Every structure is written in C-alpha cells, then in structure tokens.
Homo-oligomer: A and B are copies of this chain.
Amino acid sequence: MTNDIPDIVIGRLPIYLRELNSLQREGEKTNTSSHDLGRRLGISSAQIRKDLSHFGEFGKQGTGYNIAYLVEQISEILHLTKEWNVAIVGAGYLGHALAHYNGFQHRGFRIVCVFDSDPKKIGQQMGDFVVQSVVELETTIQQAHIAIAILAVPIDVAQEITNRLVEVGVKALLSYVPVQLMVPEDVKVSYSDPVVQMQRMTYYLNP
C-alpha cells in the first residue's frame, strides 16, 4: 500500500508532524482538524485529508484528528519511532552550527559523531562531540550503525566522501555542498543550498 505514494506527499508529512508537535507543545487541545491544520500551514484542508488518506483512516467526521495519535501514526510511517544515528562530515562553520543545533532531539535523530580532515580541528571539542579524523570514518560509521550522514565538506572532496560513506552502508545523505552527487539508486540524497533556494524566489521578485 505504501509503495507508490508520490514523494511530494511524503515530503509534506514532516511538515504536518512539525505542526502537530507544535500543537502538542501549545497544549491547548487534544484534537485538531484538517481545516485547523491547513489554516496554520497555508495548505488546503482537502490536500491534507487526501495526503493522509494514502495511509489509512486517522480522523473521525466531526471530532477530527486526535493530535497524539496522529503524531504517533506519522512517526511510524516515516520510521521515526526509534532514533537514527547521524554523522556530520566537515567541522567548518556549518558543521559547527549543525553540531550545536538542538533541533534534532525528539524529532528522530541523534548526532553521534563529527569528522574533519584538518589536524587543527581533530581532537577539538565541538558541542557535545570531539572532532574525529576522517581516517576513522569507515570504522566509526559501521560500529555506530549509521545510515544517515550530513555533508558539510568543501566541494572538491564531496564526491569522494560520498563514495566512502555509501561504501560502508550510508543510505541517506543531507548535503550542504553546492554540487550534484552521484550515488547508487538505493541511496537518497537531499540538498540544501541557500543560493538555489533564493534564486527560486528572485524569479518572482521585481528586479
């Protein structure tokens, strides 16, 4: 049943989950509706109902969705009921910011190691981590059963590091490097490039 759900639908589930979590934190109510959620997210309620209907029947006519139950269900769908160990590769300014980011907790991810190749950085404390040499990349990734890595390395080593990560079993990469990476078909890559995001917006602006 979950096989041919469009990736665009999958892409909205984390947004729903984030908003549901924030409703939970607000703590004002135990139920929500597709209308309420849609209004908060700027998405139509029909879209939300259609997206969720791919996975089952989560709400009741009239009373809507129980927030805690829907959080649980979406977490299960996205495989977030256990925490994923994540490696950060690259301890420059961005790696540093990521290592200090406290937004991973309680959302399914735990940063467990940070790598760099710079002898001046290796051994240094960075947030809760001691920067490890990239020489230890393979051993550490395998020992810690890491399937997800965040790439914050210089552009010229990005593909080589990607190859090494994939070789030891990494199946998902979040890359902050502004270059297209080559990976096998069973490996997912998600890119984050502020310039690409801004260029998409300037199209709509008056120059």
Closest to A22 in B: B179
Inter-subunit contact B97/A96 (CB<8 Å):
yes
Inter-subunit contact B98/A196 (CB<8 Å):
no
Decide yes or no whether A69 CB sits under 8 A from chain B: no
Inter-subunit contact A202/B18 (CB<8 Å):
no
Contacts of A203 in B (CB 8 A): 10, 13, 77-79
Compute how far the CA of A148 lies from the CA of B188 in the bound complex, rounded to whole angstroms: 31
Compute how far the CA of A86 lies from the CA of B194 in the bound complex, rounded to whole angstroms: 12
Compute how far the CA of A174 lies from the CA of B174 in the bound complex, rounded to whole angstroms: 18
Known A78-B199, A199-B108, A202-B108; judge A178-B18 contact (CB<8 A): yes
Decide yes or no whether A109 CB sits under 8 A from chain B: yes
Closest to A106 in B: B195
Residues of chain A whose beta carbon lies under 8 Å from any beta carbon of chain B: 7, 10-11, 13-15, 17-19, 22, 40-42, 77-82, 84, 86, 92-94, 96-98, 100-101, 103-104, 107-109, 147-148, 150, 171-172, 174, 178-180, 182, 188, 190, 192-205, 207
